[in-house]
């Protein structure tokens, strides 16, 4: 599903990753992180795909909201588990969305 974001400006956090073969606890934690993110002040939505390379883009009102999400206690634990168990590699990019447009929404 394509996230319904407000008029720019807003921020996007792009999380690209390569997974290990370890599945234990991953799906449950990923689902929990979505639920927690949705409760965070400043969260605007997200989009996620996986076919080999995983990409999740979350949208935020401002940089403070992103910083607060990064420091959320359960999210910190999930980040640690990701480094220890679930990811071979990842990269996070934080971008200012200055313009967007759509078709067919």
Q: Which domain holds residue 32?
A: 10-97
- Calculate mean pLDDT across residues 23-50: 96
Q: Is 52 left (phi over 0), alpha (psi -120 to 50) or beta?
A: left
Give buried/exposed letters for 10-28 (b at 16+ CB in 10 A, else e): bbbbebebebeeeeeebee
- The structural domain count of the chain equals 1
Residue that is written with structure tokens 């940089």 in the block: 63
- Whether residue 4 lies inside any domain: the answer is no
Report field, pTM of the whole predicted structure over 0.85? yes
- 61-94 pLDDT, tens per residue? 999 999 999 999 999 999 999 999 999 999 999 9
Residue 26 sits in a domain of what CATH number?
Answer: 3.30.70.100
Whether residue 5 lies inside any domain: the answer is: no
Instruction: Determine, yes or no, domain membership for 88.
Output: yes
Report yes or no: 85 and 22 within 8 Å, Cβ to Cβ. yes
103 in a domain, yes or no?
no
Spatial contact of 27 and 102, defined as CB atoms under 8 Å apart: no
């Amino acid at each position: 599903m394509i996230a319904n974001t407000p008029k720019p400006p807003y921020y996007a956090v792009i999380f690209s990753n390569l997974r290990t073969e370890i599945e234990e606890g991953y799906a449950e934690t990923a689902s929990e992180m979505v639920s927690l993110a949705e409760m965070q002040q400043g969260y605007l939505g997200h989009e996620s795909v996986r076919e080999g390379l995983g990409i999740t883009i979350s949208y935020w009102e401002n940089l403070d909201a992103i910083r607060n999400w990064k420091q959320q206690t359960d999210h910190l634990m999930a980040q640690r588990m990701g480094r220890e168990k679930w990811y071979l590699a990842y990269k996070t990019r934080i971008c200012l969305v200055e313009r967007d447009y759509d078709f067919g929404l």
